[in-house]
Amino acid sequence: MIDYKSDLTIRKPVEKVFSFIQEVSRYDEWTDMTGTRLLSGEGLRLGSQIETTMKIGPSKRTMVFEVVAFEPNRRIGWKTVTKGPLHWDAEFLFEPVDESSAHVTSSGVIQLNGALKLMEGIMAGEVRTGEAKELERFKSLVEAV
């Protein structure tokens, strides 16, 4: 099992930061995912599903995530619903620092299955570093708006 957690402060009100994370069409700009799209409905809400392609080890996999936690301006969480080499639970927490900035925490747990389980030690560092970099890219995009 691989767990990760990173946090930072974004110089935008919490409402703007939360609004930005709901823009699924922009996920490919700040994550290592490609072809990310909302499968259901007009916007993110509890039960929404997102399809994306990710590089996992030596191959690329298309995965579907479902929103399992949704509290406006406070929290959003996903879990994988596709069967495959990993199960991923992820969450973002948003806390206002003051009227013009928000503290964001990104955390998650990845359970590797099958042959990938043998690569857990190698992948753990990559996941933690990669997730921290994604949060930094997210911050840069939000603050640029």
What DSSP string describes 27-42? HHHHSS-EEEEE-SSS
Q: What is the pLDDT of residues 46-93, one digit of tens each?
A: 999 999 998 776 778 899 999 999 999 999 999 999 988 889 999 999
Asked whether the predicted pLDDT for residue 9 surpasses 90, the reply is yes
- Kindly state which CATH superfamily the domain 2-144 is placed in: START domain (3.30.530.20)
What is the residue-averaged pLDDT of the chain? 93
CA torsion angle for 8, 50, 128, 123 (degrees, to 10)? Answer: -170
Secondary structure of residue 43 in the 3-state scheme: coil
What pLDDT sits at residue 86? 86
Asked whether the predicted pLDDT for residue 117 surpasses 90, the reply is no
DSSP 8-state class, residue 25 = G
Cα–Cα distance, 70 to 48 (Å, whole number): 10
What pLDDT sits at residue 57? 64
**Residue 99 tokens, joined:** 């009227």
Cα–Cα distance, 117 to 34 (Å, whole number): 24
What pLDDT sits at residue 33? 92
Cα–Cα distance, 138 to 135 (Å, whole number): 5
DSSP 8-state class, residue 6 = E
Higher pLDDT, 116 or 10: 10
